[in-house]
Amino acid sequence: MDHRKIYPFPEHFLWGAASAAYQVEGAYREDGKGLSNQDILNGTNAFHDTTVTADFYHRYKEDIALMGEMGLKSFRFSVAWTRIYPDGKTLNPKGIEFYNKIINELLKYKIEPMVTLYHFDHPYELQKSYGGWYSDHMIDDYLRFAKTCFQAFGDRVKYWLTICEQNNIVLYPNLIGGYLEHVDIDTWRIQVTRVMSLCSARAVNLCHKMIPDAKIGASFSFPPSYPASSSPDDVLAAMNENDFRDFYGMDLVYKARQNPWVVRYYEERGVDIRLSREDTDILCSCSPDFIAYNYYRTNVAKSCPLESEQIQPEFNLTGKKGSITYPTFPGLYQGTGNETLEKSDWDWTIDPKGLRISLRMLYDRYAVPIMVVENGLGAYDQVEDGKVSDPYRIEYLKKHIEQLQLAVCDGIEVWGYYVWSFVDVLSTSNGYNKRYGLVYVDRTDRDPKELRRICKDSYYWYQELLKVNGNILDRRNVI
Ligand code: BG6
């Protein structure tokens, strides 16, 4: 819809930036921290190294001061489970101390903390002893951790996320999931989805009980899938991708519902995924306050015959445009490129309107307020004369925020928007070659150098945007 009037963002809109513990903190063995499944991956490829990353553990004061100077309204960060419970079972007070310092420092600058309980890093001990997310034992261990966080930080933290991207965790099992090689991939995927959904539901209930004035939701990855053509086969393929990849898990947490055709899909592959009465009761008992999602790009799907060979989703690991392999799920969909859109060097489409489309899809489906908790552009940034000029990132953010405002004009209740990321983080799939930050961290994959911070041009641009509460659409028509 084209609007005759432009509606402003709500007065207390949460303009934020985000990060995740294993991608920024470093200090991977300090003050009693245990090893996580992410730490165990160190050295398994050319870039993965959690030992130092951006060294936020030691430089948080400097980074939060930069957030304050910028006028940031909210900062989303995750708690490293292994700082609080190094082996998954034994409390480490030093971990609580660290996050208390972060939260207090944020509040000093009037920055609203948003805490992600789980962002891809769980105690390796739990992985070793019972297989991590594949086991129901994870539920009690996760809830113990969540309860400790609610107890320790709930007096000051009023926005919580239970689990980040359970749908991507199962999509990329080796990279972020803690996959067990001896388990059939379908069985693993669906059991992990079930365990994580139950964890989210129970954490929501626990949070509501322990911190009545807090808001809590789960966050998902949501790159909506478009049909490759107007052929009904491709339209169905795109529906299949959206349902199978994203809505199945969201529906569990937000509607306590199992999509019947996804149940059939697994049944036909010999995996019975129907939930027990007890599981359904737990899911039905929870009502999250909002749905959160990470938006970077959109996908395209075309039909995929049953006889095709299965190709699992992969990332472009080279940073050379055009080197991505698209996934193939026989009988469901196969991914393909979108010739109408620009792409990043890692082949992610740049699709600002897709943000509005995804907001509309989620609001129609779940009818709860929405938080966009990650959005940003991964790029090769360069330092020249001590400065980082990143007009491509400014362009990306500007266009997405315009579409966000159009979604507000559509009447969608959006509570917040978080740029990924505040400082450059260790990219999950590409290390320090691919940078997302508003603040540059001077290091390479191999050499942490001095880790000097340099505010990029996008930092100053976002600072200006915050002054007008994000209202950058043509303001002559603002109501
Ligand atoms: C999101 C994750 O899916 O994508 C982040 O929550 C991640 O942790 C971000 O960094 C970007 O992905 P990547 O692989 O480019 O780092």
Report yes or no: 18 and 68 within 8 Å, Cβ to Cβ.
no
Strand-pairing partners, residue 427, are: 431
HSE-up of 236 (CA within 13 Å, CB side)?
A: 9
Q: What is the average pLDDT across 225-240?
A: 98
Report yes or no: 376 and 392 within 8 Å, Cβ to Cβ.
no
pLDDT at 419 over 90: yes
Report yes or no: 4 and 477 within 8 Å, Cβ to Cβ.
yes
Write out 93-111 in H/E/C secondary structure.
HHHHHHHHHHHHHHHHCCC
Q: What is the average pLDDT across 470-475?
A: 82
The question of whether 384 is a catalytic residue gets the answer no
pLDDT at 188 over 70: yes
The closest-lying atom of ligand 1 relative to the alpha carbon of residue 421 is 10
* CA 104 – CA 83 distance, rounded (Å): 18
pLDDT at 404 over 60: yes
Residue type at 187 in one-letter notation = T
pLDDT at 52 over 50: yes
* CA 118 – CA 352 distance, rounded (Å): 28
Cβ of residue 258 lying under 6 Å from some atom of ligand 1: no
Residue 398 in tokens: 């500007």
**Number of C-beta neighbours around residue 44 at 10 A:** 10
The closest-lying atom of ligand 1 relative to the alpha carbon of residue 425 is 10
pLDDT grade for 479, boundaries at 50, 70 and 90: very low
Cβ of residue 20 lying under 6 Å from some atom of ligand 1: yes
pLDDT at 302 over 50: yes
Looking at residue 476, what is its pLDDT? 54
Residue 5 in tokens: 């009037």
Protein residue with its CA nearest to atom 3 in ligand 1? 221
What's the full length of the chain, in residues?
A: 479
Cβ of residue 196 lying under 6 Å from some atom of ligand 1: no
**Cα separation values, 461 from 211, 357, 440, 441, 472, Å:** 36, 25, 14, 18, 12
Report yes or no: 196 and 133 within 8 Å, Cβ to Cβ.
yes
Cβ of residue 105 lying under 6 Å from some atom of ligand 1: no
Question: What percent of the chain is predicted at pLDDT more than 70?
Answer: 99
Report yes or no: 93 and 100 within 8 Å, Cβ to Cβ.
no
Query: Strand pairing of 370-375 and 333-336?
Result: unpaired
Ligand 1 centre distance from Cα of residue 347 (Å): 14
Which residue has tokens 């769980």? 122
Protein residue with its CA nearest to atom 15 in ligand 1? 427
Cβ of residue 427 lying under 6 Å from some atom of ligand 1: yes
Nearest to 310 by CA among 196, 220, 189, 133: 189
Instruction: Please tell me which residue in 165, 268, 339, 464 is annotated as part of the active site.
Output: 165
* CA 315 – CA 427 distance, rounded (Å): 12
Share the mean pLDDT of the chain: 96
* CA 373 – CA 411 distance, rounded (Å): 19
Ligand 1 centre distance from Cα of residue 447 (Å): 22
Ligand 1 centre distance from Cα of residue 427 (Å): 6
Cβ of residue 167 lying under 6 Å from some atom of ligand 1: no
Terminal CA-to-CA distance of the chain, rounded, Å? 17
The question of whether 374 is a catalytic residue gets the answer yes
Instruction: Please tell me which residue in 374, 395, 402, 450 is annotated as part of the active site.
Output: 374
* CA 456 – CA 437 distance, rounded (Å): 8
* CA 296 – CA 18 distance, rounded (Å): 14
* 426-447 CB burial, b ≥16 within 10 A, e <16: bbbbbbbbbbbbbbbbebebee
Cβ of residue 316 lying under 6 Å from some atom of ligand 1: no
**Number of C-beta neighbours around residue 397 at 10 A:** 23
State pLDDT tens for residues 27-38. Answer: 999 999 999 999
Cβ of residue 374 lying under 6 Å from some atom of ligand 1: yes
pLDDT at 70 over 50: yes
Ligand 1 centre distance from Cα of residue 232 (Å): 32
Is the peptide bond prior to 323 cis by the omega test (within 30 degrees of 0)? no
Looking at residue 176, what is its pLDDT? 83
pLDDT grade for 319, boundaries at 50, 70 and 90: confident
The closest-lying atom of ligand 1 relative to the alpha carbon of residue 427 is 16
HSE-up of 120 (CA within 13 Å, CB side)?
A: 30
Q: What is the average pLDDT across 389-397?
A: 98
pLDDT at 11 over 60: yes
Report yes or no: 458 and 438 within 8 Å, Cβ to Cβ.
yes
pLDDT at 478 over 60: no
261 Cβ contact partners less than 8 Å away, ≥ 6 residues apart: 243
Nearest to 161 by CA among 171, 173, 149, 169: 149
Cβ of residue 375 lying under 6 Å from some atom of ligand 1: no
CA dihedral 122, 368, 222, 336 (to 10 degrees): 150
Q: What is the average pLDDT across 382-403?
A: 97
Question: What percent of the chain is predicted at pLDDT more than 90?
Answer: 92
* CA 32 – CA 83 distance, rounded (Å): 7
Q: What is the average pLDDT across 227-237?
A: 98
Ligand 1 centre distance from Cα of residue 121 (Å): 13
**Cα separation values, 116 from 79, 229, 452, Å:** 7, 38, 26
State pLDDT tens for residues 116-154. Answer: 999 999 999 999 999 999 999 999 999 999 999 999 999
Cβ of residue 221 lying under 6 Å from some atom of ligand 1: yes
pLDDT grade for 475, boundaries at 50, 70 and 90: low
pLDDT grade for 334, boundaries at 50, 70 and 90: very high
Q: Which of 77, 427, 434, 435 to mutate to test the pocket of ligand 1 (most atoms within 8 A of CB)?
A: 427
